[in-house]
Amino acid sequence: MDDRLIEVPRGLANVAVAETSIGDVRAREGFYRYRDYSAIELAETVTVEDVWHLLVRGALPDAAERAAFAAEVAAARARPEVDEVVRVVLGAGPVDPVAGLKAAWPLYAAARGLRPVYDLSEAARSADAVELAAITPVILDALHRRGRGLAPLPELAGRGIAANHLHQLTGRVPDARAERALTAYLIAVMDHGFNASTFTARVIASTGADVASCLAGGLGALTGPLHGGAPSRALDELDEVGTPDVVEPWVRAQVAGGRRIMGFGHAVYRTADPRSELMKRYAREFGGPRVELAVRFEETTERLLAELKPGRELHANVEFYAAVVMEACGIPRDMLTPTFAIARTIGWTAHVLEQARDPKIIRPSARFTGAPEVTPLP
């Protein structure tokens, strides 16, 4: 076929590039699921580790599987190479945790001798995937604390990623409300269709590369402000607005100036983002002036966007209320995107494992838009 006749939907919208049994996003219904379960129901009822097992091992664990999986994760988190890699990354000077993680994964893979997925059995690939996801919060928390990670507390034993992450970031034993809110967030954002970072990780996996390379590529995509880099920007907006009476003139000025309002709009949803609705419920449980301002901001922004951009169906996305909830949990602003990365890494590993089962490399075509004729050299 003549490449010039190939249709190229902007952003590859509505183009199916692979088959998956990991998750399903029904954008028009405002619903998404992980395997056979509602993702929102999982977020409200089970643990991060149970959903992690569901995504990478294919089913929710029974008691024996839960214990075995916890032991596997704990063993990975305790590997001496983790501390060595953190020291190397910090040796170059102060570093943003996400930038440090992008460097740390390949360094860790080299230290551990992790091999390309093309050369591994299914069991070996799965072990590498779990190991790399398990060390991710350890690395991020250590980078945030400049290598001075807090010793695990006995009272946090068995409480999982959410509680231990909060302890490392705040220095306190998290209360039940904060732990449950962060657990819901981490589960809710583990996977969400073929978003830019997931697709990037799968493309790299299709080459047969090692899992760490796949994750580093996915993380690079996640850091973009139009993908996972927006939570802190949503809080910046609330800071700039300050009080409820300023919301409407501020939003009108933003729209009139052609500036994007971070935390609103989504590449897929044209209805309420179910993840945003979930996080809004948790935000209301915290309450306070900040949450009241966020609710007013959302209501006013959606009303004005409907007025000023009719037909666009722009609603608050997950990052808006997630930022408010994570702030209420005590997570520093510079750790919002890293916390997103902890969750999404689990989803990426599930997709890497699924893609690795297909030996066909992802290699799409492009439509050439240059001059139709070749220009002879003089």
* Residues taking part in catalysis: 266, 319
Per the CB < 8 A criterion, the answer to whether 147 and 90 are in contact is: yes
The residue length of the chain stands at: 378
Fill in the amino acid letter for 323. Answer: A
Dihedrals phi, psi of 32, to nearest 5 degrees: -150, 160
Residue 2 class from Cβ within 10 Å (0-12 exposed, 13-18 middle, 19+ buried)? exposed
Q: What does residue 359 show for φ and ψ, rounded to 5 degrees?
A: -75, 0
Question: Measured between alpha carbons, how far is 344 from 224 in angstroms, rounded to an integer?
Answer: 14
- Distance from first CA to last CA of the chain, Å, rounded? 31
Q: 23-26 and 31-34: which strand pairing?
A: antiparallel
